[in-house]
Amino acid sequence: MQTFSGTQAAEIVGITYRRLDYWARTDLVRPTGADATGSGSRRLYTYRDLLELKVIKKLLDAGIRLESIRDVFSYMREHVDTDISAAHLVIDGGSVVLCNGDDLIDVLRHGQGVLNVLPMSGVRDEVDRQIISLRPEPMPYVATRDEDGGTAAVVAV
Kindly report the CATH number assigned to the domain that includes residue 31. Answer: 1.10.1660.10
In a domain, 71, yes or no: no
Mean pLDDT of 73-79: 80
Domain that holds residue 136: 123-156
Assign 55 a pLDDT band (cuts: 50, 70, 90): confident
Assigned domain for 97 exists: no
Give the pLDDT confidence score for residue 141 in this predicted structure: 64
State how many domains the chain has: 2
| Domain final residue, candidates 18, 46, 61 | 61
Domain termination residue (choose one: 20, 39, 61): 61
DSSP summary character for residue 138: -
Task: State mean pLDDT over 119-127.
Answer: 68
Residue 29 counted as domain residue = yes
Any domain includes 141: yes
Does an H or E element contain 142, and which? strand 141-145
Domain annotation covers residue 39:
yes
Residue 135 has pLDDT above 90, yes or no: no
pLDDT band at residue 110, thresholds of 50, 70 and 90?
Answer: low
Percent helix, strand, coil in the chain, to 5, is 40, 25, 35
Spatial distance between the Cα atoms of 18 and 15, rounded to a whole number of angstroms: 8
Tell which of 11, 27, 61 closes a domain: 61
Mean pLDDT value across residues 52-78: 86
Residue 22 falls inside a structural domain = yes
Confidence of residue 42 (pLDDT cuts 50, 70, 90): confident
The structure's pTM equals 0.62
Q: Which residue has the higher pLDDT, 113 or 35?
A: 35
Q: How many whole angstroms separate alpha carbon 126 and alpha carbon 129?
A: 5
Higher pLDDT, 16 or 156: 16
Distance CA 3, CA 32 (A): 9
